[in-house]
Amino acid sequence: MKQLSLLLACAAFTHAQAQITINSNHLPNDGDLLFARAATFLTDVNLEDTGPNHTWNFGFDVLEAGALNAGTECVGLGSLSLVDQVIFNNPFFNPDYDSDFGVGTELIDNPIITIEDAYQIYKNSGGVYAITGIVATVSGVPLASQYNDRDIIYDLPLTYPGSGNSHSVLALEVPTLAYYGTDQYRDYIVDGWGTINIYDQSFDVLRVKSHVTGFDSVFVSFNGFEFGLPLPKDITTYQWISTEYKVPILEIISDAGGFGGGQLQVQTADIYQPSSIEELQKNTLVVFPNPAENTITLSQNGWVEIFNMQGQQVWSGKVAENQSIDISPFASGVYSLRLRREAIETTSRFVKK
């Protein structure tokens, strides 16, 4: 009996120390709304400190929590044009590029040409989490382009040890007018697993380091002349990924490319918890004015759904903090409001005069 108890105890200890595995359902997909909070380092950190069964400490003495973003929407591909559907939403045409959702992105812009409604197209199926291409409107012309080889962010399932690489080239071109292109190499390595202690919380994670090098280019044609230049990129990203949030628990991006160089961006999942009554009050959802006649304003950001008293949804959309919502078309009455962030759902009510 003692031997059996000892074996069970050892088995429990081994399980507790086992690494996690990241599958497609742990990563963003169609319909998700992703939130991240900016953070600032308060001290120097050795970003190469990693390994198996490792512990990383990012407490309040290391990180200072900043603002929460307004949320990144993973948009379904059903709204794409028929041509774009053939390119990115067709399992029979080219299964490797049969994608799952799009995320709004900002491409290089300049005063001569405009690039609008740009979306990176993601595939989270078929054993990869990858960017398959881009759709955008360039100088008023809707364009779509696949990468010649998918930009594979992770091969799935993701586990330790693991690594991968890809070389991706893409071009969006309006002949005789404008050209946007990118040519990049990405390599990643799962270089650790263990526990991250952050903001007085702990999460089981995989640590992933990736490196992207290459060029983004914009060229415009004017009176027979071509203007533009390639902009180098050299980006190293450190991520601590869990099975509990669809964005990394912690992500650190070091951008050494471009003309500025040396930029550091730090963000966490929406895990920060207020530590005082004052902070808690700041995070309470307030709808004002209430009652309201033409607009309401929310004290928090997130994905908002508004319902009438019959339970019918009358409005939905992404809202930034202190952004107004036009309710003038609504009939007079009482409405319920639901605000969602990745792991938080808050409800409230207001009266339309």
- Residue 328's domain is classified under what CATH number? 2.60.40.3080
Same domain for 209 and 65:
yes
DSSP state of 269: E
Better-scored residue on pLDDT, 309 or 173: 173
pLDDT: is 332 or 153 the higher one? 153
- For 5-19, the pLDDT digits (tens) are 443 344 334 334 579
- Residue at which a domain ends, from 269, 296, 313: 269
Please tell me which residue, 179 or 193, carries the higher pLDDT value.
193
Domain shared by 256 and 343, yes or no: no
> pLDDT grade, residue 258 (50/70/90)?
low
Burial class (CB in 10 A: 0-12, 13-18, 19+), 317: exposed
Asked whether residue 95 falls in the same domain as residue 183, the answer is yes
Could you give the dihedral angle defined by the CA atoms of residues 202, 203, 207 and 211, in that order, rounded to the nearest 10 degrees? -90
Residue 232 lies in a domain: yes
Mark whether 295 and 255 lie in a shared domain.
Answer: no
* Residue 9 included in any domain: no
Q: Would you state the pLDDT for residue 320?
A: 81
Which pLDDT score is estimated for 180? 83
Least confident range from 144-153, 154-163, 203-212, 333-342: namely: 333-342
Where residue 3 falls among pLDDT bands split at 50, 70, 90? Answer: very low
- Tell me the per-residue pLDDT of 209-234, one tens digit each, with 9 for 90 and over: 999 999 988 777 766 666 677 889 99
- For residues 223-247, give the mean pLDDT: 87
First to last CA, the chain: 73
Q: What is the pLDDT of residue 5?
A: 41
- Model confidence at 174, in pLDDT bands (50, 70, 90)? confident
Q: What is the mean pLDDT of residues 230-257?
A: 93
* Domains identified in the chain, total number: 2
**95-151 per-position pLDDT tens digit:** 999 999 999 888 765 666 677 888 999 999 999 999 999 998 887 888 899 999 999
Neighbours of 307 (CB within 10 A): 17
Query: Are residues 315 and 182 both part of a single domain?
Result: no
Would you state the pLDDT for residue 138? 80
Pick from 243, 269, 295: which residue ends a domain? Answer: 269
Residue 68 pLDDT:
76
Same domain, yes or no: 228 and 311: no
Instruction: Tell me the pTM.
Output: 0.76
Contact 306, 335 (CB under 8 A): yes
**Each residue of 175-199: b (16+ CB within 10 Å) or e?**
eebbbbbbbbebebbbbbbbbbebb
Query: pLDDT confidence of 241, banded at 50, 70, 90?
Result: very high
Token pair 């792991």 is found at 343
Domain boundary among 269, 287, 313: 269
Q: Evaluate whether residue 113 is within a structural domain.
A: yes
Residue 247 and residue 303 in one domain? no
- According to the model, what pLDDT value does residue 15 have? 38
Predicted confidence (pLDDT) at residue 275 exceeds the cutoff of 60: no
Residues 51 and 183 in one domain: yes
- Residue-level pLDDT at 160: 97
Question: Residue 179 falls within a domain, yes or no?
Answer: yes
Tell me: do 204 and 316 sit in the same domain. Answer: no
Average pLDDT value over all residues in the chain? 84
- 66 pLDDT more than 50: yes
With respect to residue 18, please indicate whether it lies within any of the assigned structural domains.
Answer: no
213 plus 311 within the same structural domain: no
Distance CA 154, CA 159 (A): 10
Pair (77, 195) in one structural domain: yes
Residue 12, in any domain of the structure: no
Q: Which of 33-42, 239-248, 278-287, 321-330 has the lowest mean pLDDT?
A: 278-287
**Greater pLDDT, 189 or 33:** 189
Binning pLDDT at 50, 70 and 90, where does residue 312 land? Answer: confident
Residue 17 lies in a domain: no
Comparing 27-41, 106-120, 268-282, which segment has the lowest mean pLDDT? 268-282
- pLDDT at position 282 over 60: no
| pLDDT-above-90 percentage for the chain | 45
| Pair 229, 120 in one domain | yes
Confidence (pLDDT) at 10: 42
Give residue 178's domain range: 24-269
Is residue 6, in this structure, part of any structural domain at all?
Answer: no
Determine which helix (DSSP H) or strand (DSSP E) holds 282, and give its type and residue range: helix 277-282
